Amino acid sequence: MGKRRKTAILVALPAAVALLATGCGGGGGGAGGGDSNGAVSIYGTEPQHPLTPGNTNEQGGIRVVDELYAGLVGFDPTTAKPYNLMAESITPSSDAKVYDIKIKHGWKFHDGTEVKAHNFVDAWNYAALATNAQINADFFAQIQGYDEVHPEDPKAKPTAQTMSGLKVLGDYEFQATLRAPFSVFPVKVGYEGFDPLPDVFFKDPKGFESHPIGNGPMKFVSYVPNQDIQLTRFDGYQGQDAVHFKDVDIKTYSDLNAAYSDLKGGQLDFLDLMPPAALVGDTYKADLPGRTLNSSLIDIDAIAVPYYVPGYNNPDLRKAISMAIDRDGIIKQVLNNAYDAANSYFSPSLDGNVPNSCEYCKYDPDAAKSAFARSGFTGKLTIASNSDGGHKEALTAVCNSITKVLGVACDFVPQTSLGQFRSMITSHQATGMVRSDWSADYPSVEDFLNPIYKTGASSNDATYSNPQVDALLAQADSTADAAGAIKLYQQAEALIAKDLPNIPLWSEKGTAGYSSKLSAAKLSWKRQPDLPSFRLA
Amino acid sequence: MSDPAVVAADEPELEQIVTGKQDKPRSLGSDAWHELRRKPTFLISLILILIVVAMALFPGLFTHVSPTAADLNHARGGPSAQAWFGYDVQGSDVYARAIYGTRASLLVGVFATLGTVLIGGIVGIVAGFYGRWTDSLLARFADIFAGMPFVLGAIVIMLTLNAPGSNPGETRILSQVVFSIAVLSWPVAMRIMRAATLVAKQQDYVKAARGLGAGPLRIIFRHLLPNTVAPVMVYATIALGANIGAEATLAYLGIGLRPPVVSWGVMISDARDYVAAAPHILLFPAAFVSVTVLAFVMLGDAVRDAFDPKSR
Amino acid sequence: MGRYVLRRLLQLIPVFLGTTFIIYTLVWAIPSDPFAGKCGQRPCPPEYVAKMRADFNLDDNLFVQYVKYLGKLFTGDFGQTFSGVKVGTLIADAYPITIRLAVIALVIEGVIGLVAGVLTGLRKNGFLDNLVLVATLFLISLPVFFTGYVLKVGFGISVSSTAPLGDLIVPGFVLGSLSMAYVARLTRTSIAENRRADFVRTAIAKGLPGSRVVGVHLLRNSVIPVVTFLGTDLGALMGGAIVTEGVFNIHGIGGLVFINIQQQQGVVVTGVVTLLVLVYLAMSLIVDLLYAVLDPRIRYE
């Protein structure tokens, strides 16, 4: 999908023009600037799934899928404000249950066929159907008829092939009826799983995977596993978020430090996160003078304190642990100021976040000690996580901070791989606290509550269950008025902050760097390079 | 089987160094001891090893700072009067950690080498001596282990022995690492031993012993071993270093020793992302590894030269 | 000799079967679900997991899985990864650079190690001897990743997968440095011992020129353990060097195996490792045949 990549033309035209003007630096003021037929290379990781919207859910694949496909809704890269990309309009019924969606005319897939309403409906039905076993199937769960194409019991056969809630009303119009009111739906369809697929996909899905065809600003050229993925500009693209260069080479790296030295050496043009060594003492700013940028990622890192671990179902213990963590000290000394300390259960850059809504998220050694004394907890604390990606250093520091304040032993328990780590959590076999980070699928406070804190939710790592919270969340989901819904979500958050199922730690700021080949670039709220903002020097 | 004999035969020199009596004027042991005492490399390495062993046994003698104490305010601080080697990423004293890390690193190095040489030596000499189908069988058996990538084997051993989420204690992690290294690296020692045995078997004194009706055990221990042990010894001294390095490598890849164990490898792996920003975090544990390995290899060289009459 | 080679080739079959089976078992013995981490913080839809398990025969018992795997293998199909990439493609992409790196490392360690070993073995306790001893000590005592980092920072090297040979010299040196020390020391010991052997004395007594004694009689007999070592080492080098490849960002076979072990991509791991074991077995056969060529005292009946 293409949502987040456009540069706010709809929102504020003058701003977009100003951006274009700065984009070409001191050059001369021509729109676009630099070589509009040039090539750039960006950092990437090996995609874990085939490059189709319904089957892509991790950074390495999303990076490619976002450029190949364009969805109904796009997001501003910086503010995460949604705008209509392929959608002409998305009109909810008064109870937020039925959505009438009109799409723009004249959009083409890379094979020349026009994007029509049925391309969306077919793609959604394909992704939701249990027998297609698509990884993003859950995202369609709110659409009426989902339980027929995707029965709860994984062994049961689907009783329908398509969801009854989706109706094609013409070449450029379709209707989505939801099982229950859900006011965040128009934002949720901005997730890449909702992007359309061309007719050719349904004839041969397997063959399509080796040469995906989308409707996005870039089209597929080649994919060499563990080496790179090459895309080139799709000149027939109709969206506002077209790119100002021709080719992009998404280079696959397995080592961040290697990518960083390539960036310094000019063999790589854009790197969306800095290795720890480059962050220390702001080394990266000296290495890349004037070529670094920050963004506001929408994510939160936390540790889940599972209720099923003996001794952990103890509010005082949770408070004691949370208040014993010197978040600011760890961010300054271990995380090199690349994060903001968490003081709520939302990302600070998210619309609807209430600063300081988590009263126990402040470092308070004395209060922590007395809460710990009240808890009567004896034994050892552990925090488990896969140790790559800098988790080891940060969580070891968290443990050290807990030990220092509470005097209780705390060990970081490294897990060899993310798979090993997650299977331990999903099978409820954790023997201590576990890392539980969250990045937004789409920019809404809803995405930070329902999947994590609702009873039995898919990512409820702490196995938290509070009927009051469940009721508030359901009420918020069915409130059509966006502002009213946010208020209810905030009330749910306030209750969660008292129970502390997860202990929020910090949110990443997002730090990127680019080579001197580029004169402008942006990093989106999803930590993806914002290609439309790239200008060649 | 023949383990004790092999151990004894593996290090006859060492035993003789310790027990060698001066009053037997022409014994090999006293000759060697006499020569060794005057070799500066021997004395230097011996002193270094004694220091390292002392650090492993009594870390408290060398530092009063706890290796696990961490103060974030000092994180990545350079060497100073308070902390000679500076502080690591967590603000722990690098010197204290290096001292306390000696024990784990040394244990892994010594036991893994012992295991490697024992398994490899026995299998190698048996294969070389008996030849024919025994040789083929053992050689192919070794091939399976040798062909398997070290890391694959190590990961699988570490993963299958520890349930996900479990937090195994120090001894358990240590023995698992030793086991992984020994099981996966013995084929090299085996091939060297086998090659040496093949050559030694053809020597006249072996043929003579055979002609005189000596049993296979006697031939192996009295005649073959003393003449095949030199190349394996060369390998063992180097392997000891390599195994201390292997411990570091496994930790570096995130599958070896891990907290709460403190070892040089753990320290090096902690430092890997900060080499450019705070080189002292990597430099000091790496120096400890290097100096220790150096001492063992030097000792091995000196002892071998002294006891190998042919090399005089 | 011909019969010996034939017998060894036949022996390859059980070793091949044994190895693939052990590896297959080991990878699936890792006690966690390979698809658990596939959906980030969310658990994967059960249908997705079920389909993947079915596609990769994970629900059959181990033996059936293995036989199915072998059946495919014999038709030349290495299988594919969880994301649908052919394992054959992965190997074809990663192997050339690993072979180039291995050969460079072997040449470096063989040439430098042998020359240093011969020179020091002939003149023991001289200045050169001590210099080489100290140098090898130094190489042995530095961990590979340390040497790697230092040289990488020193030379500012980053290698792409299509790197010309020249770019691989420094990584090759790093990779071969430890073995270079082994080779030098093995050669030195071996030369020093054989110098006193009867056949060398006889050659000298016959009045042969020194170069011929060293070159033909002494060297030929002394390189046997060295050849063993180099052969074994080449087999190991061909298996890829996870650390060296990682430090220099070389996308070789070592990194491929490492990543896929972590992701529990059993099909990839078994495919690649099977190939590595075959290469290794071929190397060890060649080494054994070289014995006979180099040392007339060893005969294969």
Please give the tally of structural domains in chain A: 3
Q: How far apart are CA A359 and CA A417, in angstroms?
A: 34
> Higher model confidence: residue A14 or residue A77?
A77
Q: Are residues A57 and A71 in the same domain?
A: yes
Q: Does B276 touch chain A (CB under 8 A)?
A: yes
Domain locations in chain B? Answer: 88-288
**Could you tell me what percent of chain A has a pLDDT over 90?**
61
Residue C246 has pLDDT above 80, yes or no: no
Residue A359 in any domain: the answer is: yes
Residue A301 DSSP SS3: strand
Separation in Å, CA of A479 to nearest CA in chain B: 41
For residue A147, what are the contacts with CB-CB under 8 A and spacing of at least 6?
A: A179
Q: Does A510 touch chain C (CB under 8 A)?
A: no
In chain A, residues 234-253 whose CB comes closer than 8 Å to chain C = 252-253
Residue A452 in any domain: the answer is: yes
**Could you tell me what percent of chain C has a pLDDT over 70?**
89
Q: Are residues A471 and A485 in the same domain?
A: yes
Residues in chain B: 312
Residue B12 has pLDDT above 60, yes or no: no
Contact B248 C143 (CB under 8 A): yes
Q: Are residues A208 and A335 in the same domain?
A: no
Phi then psi dihedrals of residue C163, to 5 deg: -60, 140
Q: Residue A507: beta bridge partners?
A: A340
Q: Are residues A194 and A240 in the same domain?
A: no
Residue B17 has pLDDT above 80, yes or no: no
Task: Give the torsion sign (CA, A413, A414, A415, A421).
Answer: positive
A183, A213, A243: which is the final residue of a domain? A213
Q: Which pLDDT score is estimated for A105?
A: 94
Best interface-test mutation with C: which of A149, A209, A222, A254 has the largest number of C CBs within 10 A? A254
Q: How far is CA A314 from the centre of its chain?
A: 32
Q: Which residue has the tokens 């034994």?
A: A379
Q: What is the ipTM of this complex?
A: 0.72
- CB distance C186 to C226 below 8 Å: yes
Q: Which pLDDT score is estimated for B152?
A: 67
Q: Which pLDDT score is estimated for B150?
A: 74
A213, A241, A258: which is the final residue of a domain? A213
Q: Which pLDDT score is estimated for B312?
A: 45
Do you find a cis peptide bond into B260, omega within 30 degrees of 0? yes
How does strand A410-415 pair with strand A381-386? parallel
Phi then psi dihedrals of residue A153, to 5 deg: -75, 120
Residue A144 DSSP SS3: coil
- Dump pLDDT digits (tens) for C202-236: 877 887 777 777 777 777 777 777 887 888 788 77
Do you find a cis peptide bond into C143, omega within 30 degrees of 0? no
Q: Where are the alpha helices (DSSP H) in chain C?
A: 2-29, 46-55, 62-74, 87-122, 127-141, 144-155, 169-194, 198-205, 210-212, 219-238, 242-247, 253-262, 266-294
Residue B309 has pLDDT above 60, yes or no: no
Residue A374 has pLDDT above 80, yes or no: yes
Q: Which pLDDT score is estimated for C165?
A: 66
Phi then psi dihedrals of residue C238, to 5 deg: -65, -20
When the pLDDT of each residue in chain B is averaged and rounded to a whole number, the result is 77
Residue type (1 letter), C38:
K
C31, C186, C277: residue with CB nearest B147: C277
End-to-end CA distance of chain A: 27
What mean pLDDT do residues A297-315 have?
93
CATH of C87-294, one of 1.10.3720.10, 3.40.50.300, 3.75.10.10, 3.20.20.210: 1.10.3720.10
User: Where residue C61 falls among pLDDT bands split at 50, 70, 90?
Assistant: confident
Contact C90 A226 (CB under 8 A): yes
Q: How far apart are CA B141 and CA B139, in angstroms?
A: 5
Best interface-test mutation with B: which of C137, C141, C174 has the largest number of B CBs within 10 A? C141
User: Where residue B184 falls among pLDDT bands split at 50, 70, 90?
Assistant: confident
Q: Residue A247: beta bridge partners?
A: A39, A232
What mean pLDDT do residues A434-442 have?
90
Q: Does C89 touch chain A (CB under 8 A)?
A: yes
Q: Are residues A396 and A385 in the same domain?
A: yes
What mean pLDDT do residues B293-297 have?
80
Lowest mean pLDDT among A26-30, A342-346, A453-457, B93-97: A26-30
- Dump pLDDT digits (tens) for A72-98: 999 998 889 999 999 999 999 888 899
**A282 token code pair:** 């702001």
Residue B205 has pLDDT above 50, yes or no: yes
Q: Is the pTM of this model over 0.95?
A: no
A49, A226, A258: residue with CB nearest C256: A226
Please give the biggest Cα pair distance in chain A: 70
* Number of inter-chain CB pairs under 8 A, B vs C: 164
Q: Residue B283: in which H helix or E strand, if any?
A: helix B279-307
Separation in Å, CA of C206 to nearest CA in chain B: 22
Assign residue A75 the CATH number of its domain.
3.90.76.10
For residue A215, what are the contacts with CB-CB under 8 A and spacing of at least 6?
A: A69, A70, A86, A107, A108, A109, A110, A115, A195, A196, A198
Residue A17 in any domain: the answer is: no
Q: How far apart are CA C205 and CA A490, in angstroms?
A: 99
CATH of B88-288, one of 1.10.3720.10, 3.10.105.10, 3.40.190.150, 1.10.10.10: 1.10.3720.10
Residue A349 in any domain: the answer is: yes
Domain locations in chain C? Answer: 2-73, 87-294
Q: Are residues A435 and A469 in the same domain?
A: yes
Q: How far is CA A327 from the centre of its chain?
A: 23
Q: Does B159 touch chain A (CB under 8 A)?
A: yes
Q: In the complex, which subunits touch C with 3 or more CB pairs below 8 angstroms?
A: A, B
> Higher model confidence: residue A412 or residue B235?
A412
Cβ neighbours around B100 below 10 Å, total: 24
Residue A36 in any domain: the answer is: no
C32, C225, C240: residue with CB nearest B164: C32
Residue A12 in any domain: the answer is: no
Separation in Å, CA of C35 to nearest CA in chain A: 7
When the pLDDT of each residue in chain C is averaged and rounded to a whole number, the result is 78
User: Where residue C160 falls among pLDDT bands split at 50, 70, 90?
Assistant: low
- Dump pLDDT digits (tens) for A467-522: 999 999 999 988 888 889 999 999 999 999 999 999 999 999 889 999 999 999 99
**Could you tell me what percent of chain A has a pLDDT over 70?**
94
Q: Are residues A504 and A514 in the same domain?
A: no
Phi then psi dihedrals of residue A341, to 5 deg: -65, 140
Cβ neighbours around B273 below 10 Å, total: 23
When the pLDDT of each residue in chain A is averaged and rounded to a whole number, the result is 87
Residue C43 has pLDDT above 80, yes or no: no
Please give the biggest Cα pair distance in chain B: 76
Q: Which pLDDT score is estimated for C158?
A: 54
Residue A333 in any domain: the answer is: yes
Q: Are residues A346 and A491 in the same domain?
A: yes
Q: Are residues A209 and A265 in the same domain?
A: no
What mean pLDDT do residues A11-36 have?
40
| Residue in B70, B74, B66 with CA at minimum distance from that of residue B97 | B66
Contact C50 A227 (CB under 8 A): no
Q: Are residues A112 and A140 in the same domain?
A: yes
Q: Are residues A119 and A139 in the same domain?
A: yes
Contact C15 B140 (CB under 8 A): yes
Q: Are residues A191 and A238 in the same domain?
A: no
* Structural domain harbouring A103: 48-213
